[in-house]
Structure formats: structure tokens, C-alpha cells
Amino acid sequence: MNIQDVKKELSSDEKVLESAFKLETLYKKYKFFIWGAAAAIVLFFLSQTIMASLHEAKLEDANKAFLTLQKTPDNAEAKATLKAKNPALFELYSFSVAAHANDVNTLKSLSSSKNEIIADSSKYTVAAIDKHPVDSKLYNELALLEDAYLAIQSGDTKSAKAKLELIDERSSLQMLTKLLEHSMIKAK
């Protein structure tokens, strides 16, 4: 080995030591910030895990209550649990039960739901039970078909024909539309 190689090796060792001293100085200067950031990151992930676990437990309790209500619909405790743990599922369950039982009062209360699907379906079901027309986003064509049928029953064939023309030709209700149009021809 010659002197130049030894000098190079010593200078590289000096650079490593110098970097280590700089890191130590930075650490001493910012150690509270570093530990605070590390603690914040650990707390963030820990809280996310806890929140996810609590949410999962809440959904599990709601599902158990829902399954209990399917077996025993009169279980007040299961209804209260479902309403507290998963209000959206409770509204859906209430709608299903009310629609099956033609419970107009419950359906009317559900028509003011924040859930647009439950609200629209409830309004439509109440209108269908009471046999009066209603505007519906979800059941627009079906509502038009029912309005046309009610108009035919009342003898207003012009109104019925106008309602039936609003139903799209590609609709799955087109066969029923043609059937009602045909019945109007026979009725004349």
C-alpha cells in the first residue's frame, strides 16, 4: 500500500465520521420533533385500527339484529339495536315490512327519509295503495302506466293515451303499454 491509498482511506473514514456527527447534531436539535412525528404516526394508525374495529363490531351487531328480526319480527330489542347501529338498514327493513303489510302510516313517515331511494319508494307505494298518481324518480314509467290505467278506468282515454306515449319503446313495460292501448281500442 502506498501513502496515497492510506490518505484516501482516512479521508473517506473522516467523511463518514463527519456525517455521523452531523446526524447526531441534527438528532439532538430536532429529537422532540422526530419523536413527536413518530408518535403521531403510530397514534394515527392505532386510532384507525380501533375505529375500524368499532365500526365492524357495530355492523356485526346490526346484522345479528336484522337476522333476529327476520325470524321474529316483534322483537323490540332487535329493532332498537338495528335502529341504533344501522339506521339505513332499519329504514329498509321498515319499508319492506310496511310495504308487505300495506301500512300507509309507516310508509308516509318513511317518505320523508334522508335516503332518496327509501323516500321515493315509500311515496310510490303509498300512491299505489291509495290509487292516486305520483311523480317518482325510480318508478317513473310504472307510475305512468298506473296513471294511464286509472285514466282508462275513469273513461279518460285521451289522458291515458298521452301517458302511455311517454313510456319509452325500449322499456320493459312496453308489452303492458301495448296491452293497455289495445284495451282502449276495444273499449271504443
Range of the domain at 66: 1-85
The total domain count for the chain is: 1
Does residue 164 form part of some domain? no
Does residue 106 form part of some domain? no
**Quick one: which of 154, 146, 145, 112 has its CA closest to 130?**
146
- When mean pLDDT is compared across 48-57, 67-76, 133-142, 152-161, the lowest value belongs to 133-142
Q: Which of 28-34's residues contact partners 24+ apart within 8 Å by CB, and which partners?
A: none
**CA distance linking residue 188 with residue 176, whole number of Å:** 19
**CA distance linking residue 110 with residue 125, whole number of Å:** 11
Does residue 28 form part of some domain? yes
Longest alpha-carbon distance in the chain: 119
Does residue 9 form part of some domain? yes
What pLDDT sits at residue 35? 92
Does residue 132 form part of some domain? no
Residue 90 pLDDT > 80, yes or no?
yes
Query: What is the sign of the dihedral through the CA atoms of 44, 47, 49 and 51?
Result: negative
Cell of 24: 447526531
- pTM of the entire structure? 0.65
Does residue 40 form part of some domain? yes
What pLDDT sits at residue 10? 60
Residue 7 pLDDT > 70, yes or no?
no
Three-class SS of residue 83? helix
Does residue 153 form part of some domain? no
